[in-house]
Structure 1
Amino acid sequence: MGLTALALPPFEGLEASLDGLSEADLQDFRERAVPHPAGVVREPLRLHDPARRAVPATLVCCSLPAATVRELAAGGHPMFAEVAELADLTAVDLPTGHWPMWSRPGELAEALREAAGDGH
């Protein structure tokens, strides 16, 4: 059957920004982490309904500024392929690392509240 869950790997090996996180934050993060279902990583996600691209979306840009994300999407970067297809996108800059829920939780909550309040 294989691997069913993936534990949080060592922070040193991640290709994600740890900006804004202290050693205490990382320790707390590690202690609270739960394994991620392996199938989500192993199995491809196939989306078929093009109507999904018309749903208002808000992208909170943390590791990369919104302008860079838009540039990468427009340039065809595969990581941002779906972003380029969104018809109603609001991009919000929240300069920090990959985990704003740890490094800037108040600002992230406010950005999400504003997005929800604007109908996104």
Structure 2
Amino acid sequence: MYPDAGAGQANFRHNPSHLKFCATHAAISINRSREEIFQVAETQGWKALELPRGGFNVIEFWIENRVMIEMLTLDMAKDYLVFERKLPIYYVAATISKSSSTIVRSGYEIVTRLVPGHFSFKHRVFV
């Protein structure tokens, strides 16, 4: 995962030779204002953008311009909970063989990518 060059949301790409960005991220509700969050990013020289996620907004907060945390103010978290409660939830279970990999997708983004190996997984998938 890497930040957009402009004011767009994070992007995904596979680049085995470059490890600057991290594909793992988290969404965190924080009892701080938008202004406080952006001030921390500015003080540290880190990228931060407020962006829509299709029903709610988040602040993409790029720690050291490498790892993205989706920050949600308390108002954003309320909007997220309203949005999330409207979605149907499906549970997916599968077994992966050593010779395959699987990508589970929602209508919005990759939910998880599994590397080849013998294991089972269970995930909430929003459709």
The structure whose residues are more often helix, as a share, is 1
Which TM-score bucket, shorter chain as reference?
under 0.3
> Relative contact order (alpha carbons < 8 A, sep ≥ 6): 1 or 2 greater?
1
Higher-strand-fraction structure: 2
